[in-house]
Amino acid sequence: MFVVRGVSKVFEGSGRAPLTVLQHIELDIRPGEFLTIIGPSGCGKTTLMNLLGGFVRPTTGSVLKDGAEIAEPGPDRTMVFQDYALFPWLTVADNVAFGLRAKGVGRPELDRRVSHFLNLVGLSGFADAYPSQLSGGMRQRVSIARALAPDPDVVLMDEPFAALDSLTRDKLQEELLAIWSKSRKTFVLITHNIEEAVFLSDRIVVMGSRPGRIRSILDIDLPRPRQPDIRIRGSLFLELKQRISDLVRDVPETAPAGAH
């Protein structure tokens, strides 16, 4: 679905030296997969996400979706942000309907889709509420429903659960997996949370910083559907967490005993 080839991104500011945020990024993202990008602060994760979303253009290289170069944002790609980015003056239903109205969806179909996605995220009883009346977890559910309602090919998520408490975050991760398994859309997630990355992903892109580059891409060969107790009882889960932690912290990998 996405093909990223030889991408670098340099930001230039008035009176400041150019800042290379990404350097020679090579990445393929497959249709229908759950891909997570993880790495230390300042490694260019959000810049890479913005390139996929069409919000910025690469300095060198190309970013293609379905064979066409991405030049701008489009309704085929929707975003979920850490700070929810809901319109406080709109009800929950109207927030979810926002992208549908922009696409010119007629009222009967609009109402049907809003109802469907609010039910999907467990908020069917809150259609007439306003964001200020909801908890943080509920607001993020609205953001996810709004991202899914226009039927995009790709859902891009920039640390959507970072501001939530651990219990709410774990619950929403489980709900997000259920939504992804039903929709089979392509999900691309940015997170700092290694456990979250392993629990959700088909593959994890581990980035290093100064300048941002891809250090490793790991296949997460854990069975689906994934049960919550895999976080504490799954030996492979724990091994993957440690390996990714070492990669993020730039700890050299050691060869197995007896290897030459």
Residue 252 has pLDDT above 60, yes or no: no
If asked whether residues 142 and 162 sit together in one domain, one would say no
If asked whether residues 10 and 128 sit together in one domain, one would say no
pLDDT tens-place string over residues 75-93: 899 999 888 889 999 999 9
Domain boundary among 125, 151, 177: 151
Tell me, yes or no, whether 33 lies in a domain. Answer: yes
If asked whether residues 44 and 92 sit together in one domain, one would say no
If asked whether residues 242 and 159 sit together in one domain, one would say yes
| CA proximity to 186, closest of 76, 91, 87 | 76
If asked whether residues 68 and 178 sit together in one domain, one would say yes
Residue 255 has pLDDT above 60, yes or no: no
Tell me, yes or no, whether 256 lies in a domain. Answer: no
Tell me, yes or no, whether 68 lies in a domain. Answer: yes
If asked whether residues 106 and 70 sit together in one domain, one would say no
* Domain membership of residue 126 as a residue range: 85-151
The rounded percent of the chain whose pLDDT value lies above 90 is: 79
If asked whether residues 72 and 107 sit together in one domain, one would say no
Q: Is 56 helix (H, G, I), strand (E, B) or coil?
A: coil
If asked whether residues 137 and 61 sit together in one domain, one would say no
Tell me, yes or no, whether 72 lies in a domain. Answer: yes
pLDDT tens-place string over residues 209-222: 878 999 999 999 99
If asked whether residues 191 and 210 sit together in one domain, one would say yes
If asked whether residues 165 and 207 sit together in one domain, one would say yes
Tell me, yes or no, whether 126 lies in a domain. Answer: yes
Q: What is the CATH number of the domain that holds 204?
A: 3.40.50.300
pLDDT value of position 260: 35
The pLDDT of 223-244, averaged and rounded, is 91
Report the C-alpha gap between 39 and 107 in whole angstroms. 43
Tell me, yes or no, whether 253 lies in a domain. Answer: no
Domain boundary among 119, 136, 151: 151
Residue 257 has pLDDT above 70, yes or no: no
Indicate the pLDDT class of residue 160, thresholds 50, 70 and 90.
very high
E strand residue ranges, the chain: 2-11, 19-29, 34-38, 60-65, 68-69, 77-81, 154-158, 186-191, 203-208, 213-219
Tell me, yes or no, whether 186 lies in a domain. Answer: yes
Report the C-alpha gap between 175 and 30 in whole angstroms. 22
Please name the residues in contact with 68: beta carbons below 8 A apart, sequence gap of 6 or more: none
Domain boundary among 151, 178, 197: 151
- Three-class SS string for 140-183? HHHHHHHHHCCCCCEEEEECCCCCCCHHHHHHHHHHHHHHHHHH
Residue 186 has pLDDT above 90, yes or no: yes
pLDDT tens-place string over residues 81-135: 888 889 999 999 999 999 999 888 899 999 999 999 999 999 999 999 999 999 9
If asked whether residues 17 and 68 sit together in one domain, one would say yes
Q: What does the mean pLDDT of the chain come to?
A: 91
If asked whether residues 94 and 204 sit together in one domain, one would say no
The rounded percent of the chain whose pLDDT value lies above 70 is: 96
Q: Which amino acid is at 68?
A: A
pLDDT value of position 256: 41
The pLDDT of 24-39, averaged and rounded, is 96
Domain count within the chain: 2
Tell me, yes or no, whether 120 lies in a domain. Answer: yes
